[in-house]
Chains A and B, each alone.
Chain A
Amino acid sequence: MTDQNEPQHPGRPAGPDADKHNADKHNADKHNADKHDAVKHHADKHHLPKPADEETAAVVSLDTAGGAMGPSAVPATAQSGKIPGGPETLVRRIFTGSGMVSVLAVLLALVLGGLLIAFTDKQVGATATYLLARPTDFLSAVWTAATRSYVALFQGSVFNPRGAGIAGQFAPFMETLTIATPLITAGLGVALAFRAGLFNIGAQGQIIMAGILAAWAGFALHLPLGLHLLLVLLAGVIGGAFWGGLVGYLKARTGAHEVILTIMFNYIALYLLRYLLNTPAFQRPGESNPISPVLDASAVYPQIFGSQYRLHLGFLLAIAATVFVWWLLNRSTVGFEFRAVGANPKAAQTAGINVSRSTILVMAIAGALAGLSGVAQVAGTEKVLTDGVAATYGFDAITVALLGRSTPWGTFAAGLLFGAFRAGAVQMQIQTGTPIDIVLVVQSLIVLFIAAPPLVRAVFGLNPRRKKRATAGKSKTPATTGGAA
């Protein structure tokens, strides 16, 4: 059961159950860090029969880093008879803990990004020419350039104090939620497939197929209010599910690798879309531009808070989808099978799980989730079909899922973060004139550092591995403390 682990975001509050899962993940990390310890660790965990609680506690005692500062850590140390090594260890723990690492990651990214912004800034360039004559100009220009950009990022994504009234002030946040919507649902699709051991690169194609069907149902059919939107939604979800399920089927039946399948299916979907947009059936009457007619008013998502924001019903569906995926993975038999197949397909088969069925089903559900993104695009924000319907959401979804550690709520949070970046980028460009490429580089740095805690530890000299060598063999607890990522 412990092998069906659930990787957790280190920054998330960890209950005893989560601790156990964290521990498992750390276990895997330790394989790289220190084989010797890892083997011991494994031995502790798997070969000594213990009641579940005790096992959790024991594992936690080995893994006090990685966010396991929860209540279970205390009984764990007490139980194994090891006294925490006084204030010094406590400080170390705080600084190597994942919460702190996340903070440092953001800090590091902000500093590096700020420098990057500063050195591409015109004013900084101008003051640099007389750096020696008056260095204060240069330094203040660097400071102004960097801070102005970050203020713009914040004002464009969360809260704009200069907005008109409360509604205007929160408009950026609504925009963040709007942009996050397709990222969340597509990210869930990718995350779900990850958990079943499938690397689903196909969200892009699934969004496109969903977009094609949903848009067609939206502009070609004319149905009463309610029914029309339902049909659009259904068409999109089925389109995505079909495109994903087909990959699952081919993999299950022929053994073809899903990465190749999904990449190729992306191309097929994209060029099919381009072909369709060049046929009169998908063009506006009297025009030959590759752009579809606007969807009927009855076929688009209602806006949640009125027409002043773009936020639409799709966001509520994204929340519902997150709950669904959480339930599916953690509470349902099917989800258990998915995770079993993901952990070890051969073992799952031996245990009587139908791996083929599982593969097809998980890809179909992943496709349906990506399909929701396609519907959010055509029925939510764009209201037309163009060849850019999927934008880059299908690929961003992979980052979102990885950043969210493939958990439903982690993906949700990562989707919001990405949505905020996207929304803020507009203000960053307009208010400060920072080129969009630099904006994207800065954002990528932030993601990079958040996603790679060991890198941050290395930069701040918090990497415990070196210390570990010195204390190795003395005692197990300090040796493994913080060894996990």
Chain B
Amino acid sequence: MKNSLRANVKRGSLAGVASVGAAALLLTGCGPAPQAGTPTATASDYSGCIVSDSGGFDDQSFNQSSYEGLKKVEKELGIKVNQVESQTNNDFEPNLRAMVSAGCDLTVTVGFLLGDATKKQAEANPDSHFAIIDFGYAKPIANVKPIIYDTAQAAFMAGYLAAASSKTGTVATFGGIKIPTVTIFMDGYADGVKYFNEKKGKNVKLLGWDKAKQDGSFTGDFVKQDKGKQLTQNFLDQGADVVMPVAGPVGKGAGAALKDAKAAGKDVKLIWVDSDGFLTAPDYKDIMLSSVMKQMGNAVETVVKEDKDGKFTNEPYVGTLANEGVQLAPFHDLDSAVPAEVKTELDQIKKDIVDGKLKVESAASPKA
């Protein structure tokens, strides 16, 4: 009896779900049918392809930016785009090979981990072109274009901004994994803080990174947001009020900790990396001071356009402040929190770096 009752209830709920589903389908399904045989936009037979590392195209970091860059040219130039996500490092080689056999003209690979696999496929397929993000070869390969960034330049500005904005005289940064593409942010940031102290005769302390020792705080991966939150909490307890997480999605952990602190009445700020966090991590809008942007989308766009026009070279693309490959993002909502004086100084710093008057050096800087 009980059983049959339960079965009825179950059936009833199923029917309910089904009817709701059907209703939804009816509501959405009453548009007019398109004319048969409508020609689609004339597509180029050029195909641009992209292979992610294990972060996937939704990593809110370099995979995503590169992917979005490619998607943008897909529409603009009407090219074909093939994409494949790698689940693990083991997928790199099969994925790349599949791309080559799918007839890709240019294959973009993302990250130093794909360096060996890209090299292997490039050498085996001299007629195909490749571009690799965030990795340069010691010996250039004829058909691989490295896309690298002198991130330290923009991070320097962020460090200066952080030091100038700090009320407590302590700022902080931490990384995901200790790799050059991460530590280059931290080096630039540290130098920016140092520059501020020299200029202003202040003593703003930096937590989380020691440039001389090349050692600091890391969460250990780009996944566990709670570790980012925990680290940020520690920094807050030590008096830091501006934090720059260089850890992809783990930065959200830092954002969460800072939001809690703000709710508790502290004046804290967050500096995002890779993309403009105001747009990509809008949850933290109200504490987002600025972002150190690597314009990977633009670079991918440029390289694809060049290749399509037959102007491919293996000359590395190095993103700098000068070519706007790296940038400090606008202050958006916190614009009023940054004094005009600091804005002028930042403009001057940018000019000096572009002119070469101010040298920003990092052990991880691209050797060009």
Residues of A within 8 A of B (CB): 128-134, 137-138, 156, 175, 179, 271, 274, 278, 286-291, 294, 310, 377, 381-384, 386, 388-389, 391-392, 423, 425-427, 429-431, 433, 435-436, 440
Contact = CB atoms under 8 A, between A and B. Distances in A.
A388 B113 contact: yes
A133 B31 contact: yes
Contact of B25 (A128, A156, A391): A128
A427 B97 CA distance: 11
A133 B30 contact: yes
Contacts of A288: 179-180, 363-364
Contacts of A287: 138
B105 to A, nearest CB: 15
Contact of A429 (B85, B178, B179): B85
Given A130-B33, A132-B29, A430-B82, A290 B177 contact: yes
Nearest to B99: A430
B364 A129 contact: no
Interface in B342-368: 363-364
Interface in B77-95: 82-85, 87-91, 93-95
Interface of B: 25-26, 28-34, 54, 56, 82-85, 87-91, 93-95, 98-99, 102, 112-113, 115-116, 135, 138, 177-180, 220, 363-364
A381 B89 CA distance: 11
Nearest to B134: A289
Nearest to B112: A289
B180 A175 contact: no
Given A274-B177, A290-B178, A436-B85, 20 more contacts: A128-B25, A129-B28, A131-B26, A132-B30, A133-B31, A179-B90, A278-B178, A288-B180, A289-B112, A290-B179, A291-B112, A291-B113, A310-B93, A310-B94, A381-B90, A388-B88, A392-B87, A392-B88, A426-B84, A436-B84
Contacts of A389: 89
A384 B88 CA distance: 14
Nearest to B91: A426
A128 B34 CA distance: 12
Nearest to A125: B28
- 10 closest A-B pairs by CB: A131-B29, A388-B89, A391-B88, A133-B33, A134-B33, A129-B31, A130-B33, A130-B31, A436-B85, A391-B90
A286 B180 CA distance: 12
6 contacts: A130-B29, A130-B30, A138-B29, A274-B177, A290-B177, A386-B89
Contacts of B98: 156, 426-427, 430
A382 B84 CA distance: 19
User: Chain A contact residues: over half helix, strand or loop, or mixed?
Assistant: loop
A310 B177 CA distance: 31
Nearest to A278: B178
A294 B115 CA distance: 12
Contacts of A423: 94
Contacts of A381: 90, 93
A172 B29 CA distance: 40
A386 B90 contact: no
Nearest to A182: B90
A423 B91 CA distance: 9
A382 B113 CA distance: 11
Interface centre among A131, A294, A383, by most chain B C-beta atoms within 10 angstroms, is A131
Contacts of B364: 288
Contacts of B30: 130-133
B29 A386 contact: no
A291 B99 CA distance: 24
A425 to B, nearest CB: 8
A429 B84 contact: yes
A130 B87 contact: no
Contacts of A384: 116
Contacts of A391: 87-90
A339 B124 CA distance: 50
Contacts of A429: 83-85
A128 to B, nearest CB: 6
A291 B119 CA distance: 15
B116 A131 contact: no
A291 B180 CA distance: 12
Interface centre among B28, B31, B89, B220, by most chain A C-beta atoms within 10 angstroms, is B89
A146 B126 CA distance: 36
A132 B26 contact: yes
Given A128-B29, A130-B33, A430 B84 contact: yes
B220 A274 contact: yes
B142 to A, nearest CB: 20
A377 B31 CA distance: 53
A440 B28 CA distance: 29
A429 B95 CA distance: 10
Contact of A294 (B29, B32, B90, B116): B116
A391 B92 CA distance: 11
A279 to B, nearest CB: 11
B338 to A, nearest CB: 34
